[in-house]
Structure 1
Amino acid sequence: MSATTTILLLPGWQDSDAPHWQSRWEAVHGDHRVVQHEWMHPRRGDWLARLEEEVLAAPGPVALVAHSLGCILVAAWAAHSRSTAKVRAALLVAPGDLERDDLRQMIPGWAPIVRQRLPFPSLLIAANDDPYCDAARSRQMAADWGARFVDAGAAGHLNGESGLGDWPQGRALLNDLLKTTDKED
């Protein structure tokens, strides 16, 4: 029998507020939020180190569930970590385009975005009207990372303001992604 998978929630810039689906998943499903020491002025190296600590601390395999800057974190971490074998899969939701001038100035130190293929199965979900990332850029990130792409339609940044609630559709996609990794084991 395989070990239980720890779901690591990776919020983006400024953390995920109470109405955000990540906060709701933490409350409803008991998923584990990776708490960064600095949400307002994120330093890439600090965030990478914190994710590495949490992956290593997990008693068994992990699934990464990232939102916005958290997606960019997963790509950067996967390119440098020696712990990627512990990751069963990654659900990447609404990546922010940190190469865009306005976002690069608000959140410095994260560009260029790592575009290396991820060494684990992944699924990227993005809306076609996300104010922080053009739909074509989201699709290109998915292709570069080797992630399957799901178009969420007109849903904004897929955050608390999107009105997703517990976002059962997202949870179903995560569960399906994890089922496919079971077949590969």
Structure 2
Amino acid sequence: MASQPAYLVLPGYQNSGPGHWQSIWEGEDPAFRRVEQEDWDHPDPDAWTDALQRAVAGRAGPVVLVAHSLGCTTVARWAARTPSAGSSGVLGALLVAPPDVDRADVSEIEGFRPVELRPLPFPSIVVAGSDDPWCTPERSRRFAESWGARYVDLGPRGHLNADSGLGSWPEGRALLDLLTP
């Protein structure tokens, strides 16, 4: 019998607060663990990628990545720079509201440019809002296509964060279930 996966939660720039669906999922299920970063407000792409690598390598069993915003960019960057990503035990990734850091006017995240557009070595789902201020629907679709991910447009829901009023976001949990056997 396969072991239950661990869910590594990867928030974006400035972290996910208590009303964010990622934080709610962590509170509801101990299988969800946040990948902590040294500095949420001044993210260093190498440090964020290294933290993800340590978190994945530190798990004995299968892992599912649950990323939001800059966490999505971190997953793509990690997969492109880690030759063993395909054999790392990652079953899949839920990539929610990836930001277009190539076009964002936020100096703190410029180090994440350019967005990695190589196929991910595991199944993935990109979920986006049609009115996300951080990324156009066309660009979100491009990310999904480049990463080899399924694309889900949730319509006008913003950046799919606490401000979007998703609460515990059962629709997101249903999408996440598609990535686990």
Which TM bucket (shorter chain)? over 0.9
1:164 is matched with which residue?
166
Q: Secondary structure in 2 aligned to 1:149?
A: strand
| 1:28, distance to aligned residue in structure 2 (A) | 0.5
1:62 is matched with which residue?
63
TM-score by length of 1: 0.94
2:77 is matched with which residue?
76
* 1:36 counterpart = 2:20: no
Q: Secondary structure in 1 aligned to 2:179?
A: helix
Q: Secondary structure in 2 aligned to 1:118?
A: coil
Q: Secondary structure in 2 aligned to 1:58?
A: coil
2:22 is matched with which residue?
22
Q: Partners in 2 of 1:101 and 1:25 — Cα distance?
A: 28
| 1:106, distance to aligned residue in structure 2 (A) | 3.8
Q: Partners in 1 of 2:104 and 2:125 — Cα distance?
A: 26
1:16 is aligned with what amino acid? S
Alignment of 1:42-53 (within 5 A): 42-53=43-54
Q: Secondary structure in 1 aligned to 2:176?
A: helix
Residue-pair matches, total: 178
Percent same amino acid at aligned positions? 49
* 1:96 counterpart = 2:112: no
Contact 1:3 1:61 in 2 (8 A): yes
After superposition, the Cα gap between the structure-2 partners of 1:101 and 1:123, relative to the gap in structure 1 and judged at 3 Å, is closer
2:5 is matched with which residue?
5
Contact 2:104 2:134 in 1 (8 A): no
Contact 2:43 2:108 in 1 (8 A): no
Q: Secondary structure in 1 aligned to 2:94?
A: strand
TM-score by length of 2: 0.96
Q: Partners in 1 of 2:179 and 2:55 — Cα distance?
A: 21
1:46 is aligned with what amino acid? A
Contact 1:62 1:88 in 2 (8 A): yes
Q: Partners in 2 of 1:99 and 1:156 — Cα distance?
A: 19
2:121 is matched with which residue?
119
2:139 is matched with which residue?
137
Q: Looking at secondary structure, tell me which structure has more helix per residue.
A: 1
Q: Partners in 2 of 1:29 and 1:144 — Cα distance?
A: 31
Q: Partners in 2 of 1:84 and 1:146 — Cα distance?
A: 13
**Alpha-carbon deviations, 1:78-112, whole Å to 9, x = none?**
01222432100000000010000413x24121100
Structure 2: gaps of 5 or more residues: none
1:143 is aligned with what amino acid? E
1:67 is aligned with what amino acid? H
